[in-house]
Amino acid sequence: MVLPLSSWKSSEMTMSQCLINWNSRADPNCVGLFEADEYRLVNDFFCSQSDSDPDPTPLLHLRVLASELGIGDILLKDESARLGLNSFKILGVSYAVGRLLGEGRLAKDSVLVCASEGNHGRALASVAVRNKLQARIYVAADTSPARSKAIEREGAQIIVVDGNYDDAVKQAARDAELYGWQIISDTSWAGYEEIPRWIMSGYTKLMTEAEMQWSPDPPPDVVFVQAGVGGLACAVVSWLCQRYGTKRPFVIVCEPVSAACLLESSRAGKPVTLNGPFNTIMAGLRCGEVSPIAWPVISESADAFVSIDDEQCGSAMRILAHPSGGDPVVTAGAAGACGLSGLLAILQDVRLRSVRGASGLNTQSRVLAINTEGVTDPEGYARITGREIETVIAAS
Ligand SMILES: Cc1ncc(COP(=O)(O)O)c(C=O)c1O
């Protein structure tokens, strides 16, 4: 069931903003962050892991929703159950740790550390345990207990930082330096770029899979990708530039209203730091600083930025949990539903109409969104969707 436009209270939409990057097609030779060789290495790595990664995650079609919205098709790459975890994040971590192991750069007793809002930390904990290494994950003071517990259950030690995610990043880096631990961060900073770069190249696996799944159809016309520090957005934009050049789809980067650091950086023409508070249900996207190595690619080649409020995101979660007609049931956490929220928002929120126009969305358009996470906070999920996760899974 699609919520009628009237259910989107105008008071709740006032904060959504958008920005079109009119220069995104200025460089016809833009290939993104990675050389062709990097994609081959990523592919070889995941092929060599095929025992633990037997199947691609599904590329679902939400045809009924698409027809209700007046567009051609919605393809949803569903990362809610990637490799036994519930987000896409394991792709980046397993590739980066695999590279370090392959190069003999981790000792038997290495301690892997990172800051996390939940998903990256859980992925790192899982990869550390699989490789008989230790993991210490730094979380912001207000990280939901469900997300912290999920990390602990993977076998990691949690360190609660008095501050937000960006403070946790800084403390994890300081401690790693002090104690000689290996930091596996999804965001970069001056002098720390190699591993975040590998993490981003690992993410491109989901696009390679998606292309095999949408073929022989042409690529989608519009792609929605949600952003925290911008690692996933950089990976998706890079892959699309490399693969399709100037014929690539129109890419719309989606962020929470309270943590739209990419949109604000694009507006400023340089990376800006937001200080919060980052009050949003989209926990995985509560970041105030873009990853410096992701920024040049995003600023040059992403086509538009939209910020999404929690009500819009909640609507997308409910639509996925209670789909129309024959559309599949999809379990999506709030950050996971952010990309689809972007589509709904540009179609239904008058403030975002310019992006709809620039994207060229029409009745024939096929769009791609990524459900980047499943249910990472069952209580929050039940509150927002009105359904217990078990009931949703039973119906799917
Ligand atoms: C579920 C989910 N989606 C999207 C993202 C955004 O990824 P990035 O921080 O690389 O922009 C995250 C980040 O943790 C996440 O957890």
Evaluate the CA torsion angle 126, 129, 133, 138 in order and state its sign. Answer: positive
**What's the mean pLDDT in 119-147?**
95
* pLDDT greater than 80 at residue 361: yes
User: Based on the structure, what is the number of domains in the chain?
Assistant: 2
Residue 319 CB less than 6 A away from ligand 1: no
CA 284 – ligand 1 centroid, Å: 5
Ligand 1 atom with the smallest distance to the CA of 230 is 11
Are 168 and 228 part of one and the same domain?
A: no
* pLDDT greater than 60 at residue 276: yes
CA 232 – ligand 1 centroid, Å: 7
Residue 87 CB less than 6 A away from ligand 1: yes
* Protein residue closest via CA to atom 10 of ligand 1: 231
For 29, the 3-state DSSP assignment is coil
**What's the mean pLDDT in 196-203?**
98
Are 323 and 365 part of one and the same domain?
A: yes
Specify the pLDDT at position 8. 38
Residue 115 CB less than 6 A away from ligand 1: no
Which of 157, 176, 199 is where one domain is finished? 199
- Which residue type occupies 340? L
Residue-averaged pLDDT of the chain: 93
| Beta pairing partners, 124 | none
Q: Are 260 and 307 in contact (CB under 8 A)?
A: yes
Specify the pLDDT at position 53. 60
Q: Domain of 207: which CATH number?
A: 3.40.50.1100
CA 90 – ligand 1 centroid, Å: 11
Specify the pLDDT at position 387. 84
Residue 375 CB less than 6 A away from ligand 1: no
Are 50 and 102 part of one and the same domain?
A: no
Per-residue pLDDT reduced to its tens digit, 160-193: 999 998 899 999 999 999 999 999 999 999 999 9
Are 158 and 36 part of one and the same domain?
A: no
Per-residue pLDDT reduced to its tens digit, 3-52: 333 333 434 434 899 999 999 999 999 999 999 999 999 999 999 986 66
Are 293 and 340 part of one and the same domain?
A: yes
* Protein residue closest via CA to atom 12 of ligand 1: 284
Specify the pLDDT at position 223. 99
**Cα 360 from chain centre:** 24
Q: Domain of 283?
A: 5-87+201-395
Are 206 and 339 part of one and the same domain?
A: yes
Are 274 and 166 part of one and the same domain?
A: no
Count CB neighbours of 174 within 10 A: 12
Helix axes 310-321, 378-385, angle to 10 degrees: 90
Ligand 1 atom with the smallest distance to the CA of 284 is 16
Are 192 and 219 part of one and the same domain?
A: no
CA 253 – ligand 1 centroid, Å: 12
Residue 289 CB less than 6 A away from ligand 1: no
For 308, the 3-state DSSP assignment is strand
Are 308 and 358 part of one and the same domain?
A: yes
Q: Using alpha carbons, select from 160, 157, 97, 170 the residue that is nearest to residue 127.
A: 97
Pocket of ligand 1, candidates 80, 188, 278, 285: which has the most ligand atoms within 8 Å of its Cβ, to mutate? 285
Specify the pLDDT at position 360. 98
Q: Are 253 and 227 in contact (CB under 8 A)?
A: yes
Specify the pLDDT at position 12. 40
Which of 182, 199, 216 is where one domain is finished? 199
Which of 180, 199, 218 is where one domain is finished? 199
The pTM score is: 0.95
* pLDDT greater than 60 at residue 1: no
Q: Are 283 and 147 in contact (CB under 8 A)?
A: yes
Are 23 and 100 part of one and the same domain?
A: no
CA 6 – ligand 1 centroid, Å: 30
Per-residue pLDDT reduced to its tens digit, 282-308: 999 999 999 999 999 999 999 999 999
Are 337 and 305 part of one and the same domain?
A: yes
* Protein residue closest via CA to atom 15 of ligand 1: 284
Are 93 and 36 part of one and the same domain?
A: no
Ligand 1 atom with the smallest distance to the CA of 231 is 10
